[in-house]
Amino acid sequence: MNADAKLMDVAQRSCDFHRGFLALQEEHSNWVDNIRGKLPDDLTGTLFRNGPGAMHAGSEAYGHWFDGPGMISAVSFNGGRAHFKNRYVRTPKFLTDKEEGRVSGRGFGTQIRGGWFRNLLKPMTNPANTSVSWHGEKLCAFYEGGQPFRLDPFTLDTLGPEYYGGALTPRTTISAHGKIHPKTGHQINFGVNLVGLGWRGIKCALDVHEIQSNGADVRSCRIPLSKFPFLHDFALTEHYALFLVSSVNFGLGGPLLGTATLSETLSYDPYQPMRGIAVDLRSMTVAREFELPPGIVVHFANSFETGDELVTDFFHTTSTEGFAWLGDVFDVQTVAGAQLQRLRLNLKTGQTHTEAFDSAPIGEFPAWNTDQTGLANGFCFYVGHSPDRESGFFNSLVTLNTHTGAFTHTDVGPNRYTSEALFTTRAHPRSENDGYLLAFVYDASTHRSEVQVREAANPDNEIAAVLLDHHVPFGFHGHFTRELFLS
Ligand SMILES: [Fe+2]
């Protein structure tokens, strides 16, 4: 069954988590009166979230979850009430696909219909679908294969590509995992770029950026790389940015010739060490390079410095299962997770020590109290699979005490599946985890979504849920800000 047929098939199913990948075509802006429980009076701010709003254009399906057009959702919490809004990011890709009713551009795992000749030398197009961030008075939707798109935070209208005063160009990229330094207010981010041709082939580089708190001025450095890396996220401490290049290889020939997507050329090499690069943000120079045993790292949790050591937590795997299902979301049986690990790097000696949080459930989409980003902390929040429901999409919330290894594991409810959950503190927090977990949860029984508000210190306690009268497709990353943007 081809992808288009699967899309139609899944739409016929009556109660299935796969329908959480179906499109939300309508754009809403309304107060939500249907609240289960009572929203906390001190929960004030806006939960922005990004993800593919559709997995098809006209009758053609995208070939990979990473390729659907970005749709921003915004839930505003104010005075015990909630307002929901969603808008597609008007990228050139979105507008052309919509106008032509077909997949008009290539993606990470999507080819233009019609064979290799129609894909020859065609670059990947930017769906702006991976994350969204409010920083420097700018709301931007990010995709790691291109530049961000700036949005109006009140209307979610697309204002255009954001180049940060020339730090980026239409040909350079920036990741979807920028992190905001709580002491300086600067956003640290990076991009992987093709920078020329050498006798060994295409030259690649890692560009590291410090976008100042005004959202305009940028300090950058460029680090040459020996090959095109798998680099999706990074670790930020008070003074360092740490990168772990996974034991993953890409073939660039097929994508250039139009015979393969970048996703199809991805392979794991179990004998290839991971390469670590620590960048000193004060001097914007490489402070230390090192190797780790082979593995794949997609997402980092929080990181910090203690003495000469840099400590970082990240999800680690040696399985490519996670890559396989991303290309066929309508047929996936179980969304794969990974094991949380802690790396200690001695910056003076270069010695490393890695230890897994063995007893903690596997999972993904780590979150933490972002007031502590880059600083010592003790709690990590992520999504996983409930012991009672180990198949399907993520369906549980995990809170892990990284000092003791103790954890809680909460099912988000019958026939319900959750995307990334974010943490925000109460108005006057008494401790690091004194706050709320905010999660977009899909109810497969009703084909509707809800935004659950749970007590972070005890997620079994659902405080409230904002019940939408439609679904919101499963998505990637979001951002919570205490600011409100209600007209
Ligand atoms: Fe990510």
Q: Is residue 368 part of a domain?
A: yes
Cα(374) to centroid(ligand 1), Å: 18
Contacts of 303 (CB under 8 A, 6+ apart): 235, 236, 237, 242, 310, 311, 312, 313, 374
If you ran DSSP here, which 8-state letter would residue 254 be given?
A: H
- Per-residue pLDDT, 59: 86
Helix (H) or strand (E) holding 253: helix 253-257
CA of 319 to the centre of ligand 1 (A): 17
For residue 369, report the distance from its CA to the centre of ligand 1, in Å. Answer: 17
258: left (phi over 0), alpha (psi -120 to 50) or beta: left
Q: Helix or strand or coil: residue 166?
A: helix
Q: How distant, in Å, are the alpha carbons of 121, 202, 234, 270 from that of 317?
A: 33, 28, 16, 11
For residue 177, how far is its CA from the centre of ligand 1 (angstroms)?
7
3-state secondary structure of 257: helix
Q: What is the Å distance from ligand 1's center to 381 Cα? A: 15
pLDDT at 112: 95
pLDDT at position 68 is: 96
Instruction: Output the CA 469–ligand 1 centroid distance in Å.
Output: 28
Q: Give dist(CA 318, CA 295) in Å, integer.
A: 5
458 domain residue, yes or no? yes
- The residues pairing with 338 across neighbouring beta strands, listed in sequence order, are 363
Cα 108 to ligand 1 centroid, rounded to whole Å: 14
Burial of 169 (0-12, 13-18, 19+ CB in 10 A): exposed
Burial class, 283, CB count within 10 angstroms (exposed 0-12 / middle 13-18 / buried 19+): exposed
Q: From ligand 1's centre to the CA of 117, what distance in Å? A: 32
- Say how many Å lie between the CA of residue 130 and the centre of ligand 1: 7
Ligand 1 centroid from CA 144, angstroms: 9
Interval between CA 20 and ligand 1 midpoint (Å): 19
Please, are residues 478 and 49 in contact by the beta-carbon 8 Å criterion? yes
Which tokens sit at 289? 């390079």
CB within 8 Å of 198: residues ≥ 6 apart: none
Assigned domain for 283 exists: yes
How many Å lie between the centroid of ligand 1 and the Cα of residue 435? 23
Cα 200 to averaged position of ligand 1 atoms, centre (Å): 30
Q: Does residue 162 contact residue 142 with C-beta atoms inside 8 Å? A: no
**124 CA → ligand 1 middle, Å:** 18
CA–centroid distance, residue 3 to ligand 1 (Å): 24
Give 256: exposed, middle or buried? Use CB within 10 Å, 0-12, 13-18, 19+: middle
The stretches in the chain having pLDDT less than 70 are 1-8, 10-15
- For residue 40, is it within any domain? yes
Distance 407 CA to ligand 1 centre (A): 23
> What pLDDT digit, counting tens, does each position of 370-428 carry?
999 999 999 999 999 999 888 889 999 999 999 999 999 999 999 999 999 999 999 99
* Segment 333-363, tens digit of pLDDT: 788 889 999 999 999 999 999 999 999 999 9
CA of 477 to the centre of ligand 1 (A): 7
**Residue 412 CA, ligand 1 centroid: distance in Å:** 22
Local structure of 256: helix, strand or coil: helix
* Distances 423 to 189, 233, 335, 450 between C-alpha atoms, Å: 21, 19, 22, 16
Which 8-state DSSP code applies to residue 22? S
CATH number of the domain encompassing residue 90: 2.130.10.10
Reported as type and span, the H/E element at residue 19 is: none
Q: How many angstroms is it from 34 CA to the middle of ligand 1?
A: 31
Q: What is the Å distance from ligand 1's center to 129 Cα?
A: 11
Range of the domain at 201: 3-481
Structure tokens at 99: 């106008």
* Domain presence at residue 64: yes
Q: Which two tokens stand for residue 300?
A: 């980092």
In a domain? residue 487:
no
What is the pLDDT, as a whole number, of residue 218?
95
pLDDT at 408 (0 to 100):
96
Residue 456 CA, ligand 1 centroid: distance in Å: 22
Reported as a single tens digit per residue, the pLDDT across 149-190 is 999 999 999 999 999 999 999 999 999 999 999 899 999 999
- Identify whether the C-beta of residue 351 lies closer than 8 Å to the C-beta of residue 371: no
State how many domains the chain has: 1
Handedness of CA 388, 392, 397, 399 (dihedral sign): positive
Whether residue 486 lies inside any domain: the answer is: no
Residue 414 contacts residue 434 (beta carbons within 8 Å) = no
> 239 CA distance to ligand 1 centroid (A)?
22
Ligand 1 centre to CA of 176 (Å) is 7
- Assigned domain for 65 exists: yes
pLDDT value, residue 7: 58
